[in-house]
A and B are shown apart, each in its own frame.
Chain A
Amino acid sequence: MSISARELDDFRAEAGAWFTANKPADPGFLLPQSFMEVGTDRQFEFLRAWQRKVYEAGYLGMAWPAEYGGGGRDQAFQDIATAEMARQKVPFMTNTIGLSWAGPLILNMGTEVQKQDYIKRILSAEDIWCQGFSEPDNGSDLGNAQLRAVRDGDEFVLNGSKIWTSLGSYADYMILLARSNTEANTKYEGLSYFLSPMKTPGIEAVPIRKLTGEYGFTQTFFDNARIPDTCLIGEEGKGWQVAMKTLTFERAVSGGQAGGVHSMPVFAGEVVELARHALRDGRSAIEDPLVRDQLVAFLIEERGLELNNQRAEIPGLNTEWPGSIAMARKLTHSEWRRRLNQFAVTLQGANASRYVDDPSVLDGGRWQRGYFNAFSSTIGGGTSEIQKNIVGERVLGLPKSD
């Protein structure tokens, strides 16, 4: 499909104007920076309404098939709309697991009924989705999931618990990896994958308090919860393959996500501004040579990551380790974000000791809270250490670690 540059430019102008006109006003309370940080009902309801508005205006799921509620247009349009959202720093789309992981997964390997039932409601945020991968005893070792799913006629009976369930208190559905066969040849072959309803007797989501002091996710308990076997996605016993496919969406190695921004971006330039206003020995911190050196190092790294994204699209410049940039993206971006927030905290001088809710804290405590929350990305979805194993083994071809 070829689209003229003119058509895309016109669309950019149209989408840009819509976001300018419809960008929500400051709600008067601190908004979270990603779906992993949604901690209060008012934050959730605000973000859910915003996603619905964006979808109804036609700027979300633009490349998803029209018969399921998508826009049926070329991906180029969604990319432009997403870029406009980022540029105008509008609030993020809160149904991230539905939009970016579960949705593409269902479109990729779900049944016709599943597509009809779920896709449109993911886009409109009528159904909120969460993910049930990690367990209290099995975090990074996903293949060792122990939550039991025992077949009983045309139902499965679920027992066990999942943990670190972002949006767990609000979710209608969970993508759930469970052990349906304890006698399989390998731990991987005993797994099945479900699109499990959350509003089910026997399923209870208990909020967990985070290191920030806020509530952002739950431990989800399953006590003889019964779900129909039509909730299976992929074959019974093939859950590992479905989970691996999910991770390619989660890590953006595969395309097909609904689009939209999913976290509030942080820019090194914002920390430069912070340094301008912070004081060192009676002068602006930005005059301090050591501060300058660190700021420039962050700017170089930010630019490098941005240029990486552009280069990744040019096959001739990725011949040596194809896929390396995409495979390392979560690692590089999450670590950069953590370090940048940490540096921003230290720039505040003695005031770095203040925290969220203190009336004098800088920027509402954004940097302090941002630093702590940044660990959600360096730990969640496979820790940075696990990411390094993956890149080391799959990109560099190093032998597996025992």
Chain B
Amino acid sequence: MATSANRFEHRTNAIDRLGRTVVYEGEMLRHPVYTRFLHWMTGIFFFLALLSGFGIYLPWIFRFFTPIFGGGAMTRLLHPWFGLVFVIFFALQALNWWNVMRWTPDDTSWMKRMKAYISHEEDMEPDTVGFFNAGQKLQFWEIFIGCIAYVITGVIMWFPEIFGRGLVAISYVIHDISALIMLFGIFFHIYLSTFGEPGTIQAMTRGTVSRAWAWTHHPAWYKEVTGRDPYKDMEAERQRIERAD
């Protein structure tokens, strides 16, 4: 079934025209320049906000982070700005990906077989997995909700004289919890895009993935874009390798 969640539609904008994406033989376009730009800006400011936040979160463990940003006072001064820029870039990415991140019933059934995904029970993903799988969507929506929590609680802590003592004390806990969940999630994000699923990182660097990567991890997207059956193509490739041996 072809739904909008299987294919990422993007109209070329000014930032796309600043760069180029070369798709070599046997590859597919995954992320255009604009998406990659937003991703890495979000990533840079996420880590700046994370590291500067560490120094304020548990100063007796992370006291070595504050000197990086020019001392405690400067860390405190910069942290809200890092966070704000992170949220702005993520918001742009959310608009960019809004359609393709929509939750579908297929995603709910994917979540139920999460264990099979983790333990690699099947070589290929099921044919319901489109441009993003449910795990990726879950992380996206976690960051989306987390960013809303960051902004509300962050502004309260930024201007405590307006909002008062009680709200600041509550905000501080919510801000921390949001950061802890996001920190927990970022390990999976980095692992799955590098060591965990080889061939993935180039989607966000050069913007392309191999056809084999596409039919393995996102069969419905492969089918939608190429109009070919991912499982038949994989089988044909396997027989070609065996004949070559």
A, B: real partners = no
